[in-house]
Amino acid sequence: MRAALAVLLVLLLGSVARAERLIVSVSNHRVTVTPNYSGEELVLFGSVEKDASTPADRKTYDLVVTVMGPRAEMVTRRKERKFGIWINTDYRQFLEVPSYLALFANRPFDVITSPEIARRQQIGLNNVLLTQRVSGDYADVVPNDAFRSAFIRLRTERGLYREDPSAVTFLTPTLFRTGIPLPAEVPIGTYEVEIKLFANGALVTKTETAFEIVKVGFEQFVATSARQHGLIYGLVTAAMALMTGWMASIVFRKD
Amino acid sequence: MQLYLPIADLPVNIFLVLAMGAAVGFVSGMFGIGGGFLMTPLLIFIGITPAVAVASVASHIAASSFSGALSYWRRRAIDPALASVLLCGGVTGTALGVWTFTQLRALGQLDLMIALSYVVLLTTVGSLMFSEGLRALMRTRRGAVPPRRTHNWIHGLPLKMRFKRSKIYLSVIPVVIVGIVIGFIGAIMGIGGGFILVPIMIYLLRVPTSTVIGTSMVLTLVTMLFATLLHAVTNHLVDAVLALILMVGGVTGAQFGARAGQKIRGEQLRLLLGLLILSVGVRFAIELVIRPEDLFTIRELGVSG
């Protein structure tokens, strides 16, 4: 009991001792993707709240925003020339990696903070943890690993991974905003947004928020039923084929 | 007009897909084939993954073969006994095919196997058909009589059965094997197999031309319906929206194709079909040999929680 109280006290003191507080919100906490959805941009805005304990010389801040979509397992395969044709030979399995990943900042990452902190705080696509299964072991590899960089490149080409060190804009020294582009093929699920505040290269505070992407409409209904009720879906498709064939034989009957 | 394909996960132009369906339907009506061997490659070329293309085309072929089978049924050009024996093999072959499809997909070699099967099968069948068509054309030029049909080793096999409507007396063993083979390659390659089945039935099994197309359509219909069902249950890859557009285009195009086909002579038709099949095979071969634009591919294994 006493120990718990002590922990609580430390926690309370800790939060009090923090000189700045981040207040953030996204423009829409629930994005509905309709069949004719062709991409959208969500806006994240917020402000840095100072209090009495804020050092007076602290005038400018840096922000790093990380948006992570629902996690999924993915396989990256590499083709090689064998017997004169191109065949998938080697592969790496990526475990629990974000299906969508965006890293935004107001200045280049290497100007904001040191490489050491950037690595620890997973700032920049090169520093985000992407766990691979390498022959029974679970580990992330060096950033220039062929499979890792190919994975990031392919995801970036589809607009699902991105890093933009100029996407965050400070409207006033404490008020900021950034756009979160969501492409047409954005995966559905819960998206976590992490906002980290830096001053003079050191992490000052961070906060989190989230939004959800849901797909609605006929297409989504089809996709969901295909996945969840495979047998009924198959039967309906087969019946549809028979109906179409039968109707055609009636319409075009040569009598 | 853009339309989002739910399973293929891809926006496509609805008129492009309709036109593709109609074009393939025209060709299939002209030659009296299902057209899967043209439809699946076309879908792959517009960016749909081979797995989804194969699974969705199965239902498209089922639709077109059903309308064909219905009209052959009315003309009593289907041999029910022969069709049922073929189906015993066909259904087994389809189940085996879908199972192999799933295994290959897990290994990451499905796309390669689809491409390789296309190269091997289409170049072989295409060149055989083309040379046969050429020879037939020469014969008619010279005015020679076609060689007489003789019995072959197949007619010496045991387990013989009388197929009344086709007026043949034949062992069931080769019939079942043909059914298995057609069902198997159909499920893996997304083809009805009519273009292989019909020549096999004519040249090997000596089925008379009066019942051959109708009976082969029944086999195609049932194996493709079964393949649709199995692909939907095991791999969840059947895109019903895509299939519906293809069906509508396909059955319409087939009617005009059938009319055009009646104006062309049989030998020329076979020559053209052989050429068409051969060129699709060669197209796949080129694709395999040239260096792909990107050596890496990603496949999502589903959202984990």
pLDDT of residue B305: 34
Per-residue model confidence as pLDDT tens digits over B249-259? 888 888 888 77
Per-residue model confidence as pLDDT tens digits over B178-209? 899 999 988 888 888 888 888 888 888 888 87
Q: How far is A213 from chain B (nearest CA, A)?
A: 14
Structural element, H or E, at residue B13: strand B10-13
Contacts of A184 in chain B (CB under 8 A): 11
Using pLDDT thresholds of 50, 70 and 90, give the confidence band for residue A251.
confident
pTM: 0.73
B contact test, residue of A132, A237, A246 with most B CBs within 10 A? A237
> At residue A8, does pLDDT exceed 60?
no
Which of B177-209 are b and which e, b meaning 16 or more Cβ less than 10 Å from the residue's Cβ? ebbbbbbbbbbbbbbbbbbbbbbbbbeebbbee
Contacts of B296 in chain A (CB under 8 A): 76-79, 147, 150-151, 153-154
pLDDT of residue A192: 93
Q: Establish if B94 touches chain A: CB-CB under 8 angstroms.
A: no
A11 token code pair: 């926690």
Contacts of B254 in chain A (CB under 8 A): 248
Which of A138-170 are b and which e, b meaning 16 or more Cβ less than 10 Å from the residue's Cβ? eebeeeeeebbebbbebbeeebbbbbebebbeb
ipTM > 0.85 for the complex:
no
Inter-chain Cβ pairs, chain A and chain B, closer than 8 A: 185
Find the closest chain A residue to B68 by CA distance: A249
Q: How far is CA B139 from its chain centroid?
A: 29
B95 token code pair: 């189940």
Q: Establish if B2 touches chain A: CB-CB under 8 angstroms.
A: yes
Q: What distance in Å separates the CA atoms of residue A246 and residue A221, rounded to the nearest whole number?
A: 26
Which of A78-94 are b and which e, b meaning 16 or more Cβ less than 10 Å from the residue's Cβ? bbeeeeebbbbeeebbb
Per-residue model confidence as pLDDT tens digits over B287-298? 888 777 778 887
Per-residue model confidence as pLDDT tens digits over A236-245? 988 998 998 8
Long-range contacts of A24-28 (CB under 8 A, 24+ apart): A24/A193, A24/A195, A24/A207, A24/A209, A25/A209, A26/A180, A26/A193, A26/A209, A26/A211, A28/A211
* DSSP symbol at B104: H
Share of chain B above pLDDT 90, in %: 6
| Cβ separation B62–A245 shorter than 8 A | yes
Residues 269 to 288 of B: which have CB under 8 A from any A CB? 288
Contacts of A227 in chain B (CB under 8 A): 236
Q: What distance in Å separates the CA atoms of residue A185 and residue A164, rounded to the nearest whole number?
A: 20
Q: How far is CA B294 from its chain centroid?
A: 30
Mean pLDDT throughout B15-29? 87
A202-215, strands of its sheet edge to edge: A30-33, A202-215, A189-199, A62-68, A101-105, A161-164
A contact test, residue of B3, B4, B52, B72 with most A CBs within 10 A? B4
φ, ψ (nearest 5 deg) of residue B25? -60, -40
> At residue B161, does pLDDT exceed 60?
yes
